[in-house]
Amino acid sequence: MTNLSAEMPGSGPIIRGFGAQGFRINEQYYSGGIILTPCDAIAWDMPDAMRIDDAPLMDALQRVQPEFLLLGTGAKLLRPAAQFTRALEAMHIGIEVMDSRAAARAWSMLRLEERQIVGAIMPLD
């Protein structure tokens, strides 16, 4: 498991480490993917194709109304379908797509800035 700085301050869920199978958020381990909001972390399995009707993701987006979705797509950067991106844009939500290593690091930095974002991050496997 790759550890991120345990001393990193910030409010809400902070990614403290990640590995092939999951993430350590604050002091709790999550196997599989995660949805992160400024207030909570939710276990999540990304569907085969990103869909805007994914219930856990939609719930987080509606509750937070983020400036953008930080999408970590696993070991490799994989672009979501154009219809998914257009649906987010119609909701006035941007999207930043990156591999999950970069997304895990970016989440913590963005939360230090107290940015209102939602993260959907898949494990590396």
Q: What is the pLDDT of residues 14-61, one digit of tens each?
A: 999 988 899 999 999 999 999 999 999 999 987 766 787 889 999 999
Check residue 3 and give its pLDDT.
Answer: 65
CA-CA distance, 15 to 103, in Å (whole number)? 10
Please count the structural domains in the chain. Answer: 1
Query: What was the pLDDT predicted at 61?
Result: 95
Assign residue 19 the CATH number of its domain. Answer: 3.40.1230.10
Edge-to-edge strand list for the sheet holding 33-36? 41-44, 33-36, 117-121, 68-72, 94-98
108: containing domain: 2-121
Q: With 60 as the cut, is the pLDDT of residue 103 above it?
A: yes
Q: Is the pLDDT of residue 70 over 80?
A: yes
Spell out the residues 6+ positions from residue 116 whose beta carbon is closer than 8 angstroms to its own.
38, 64, 65, 66, 67
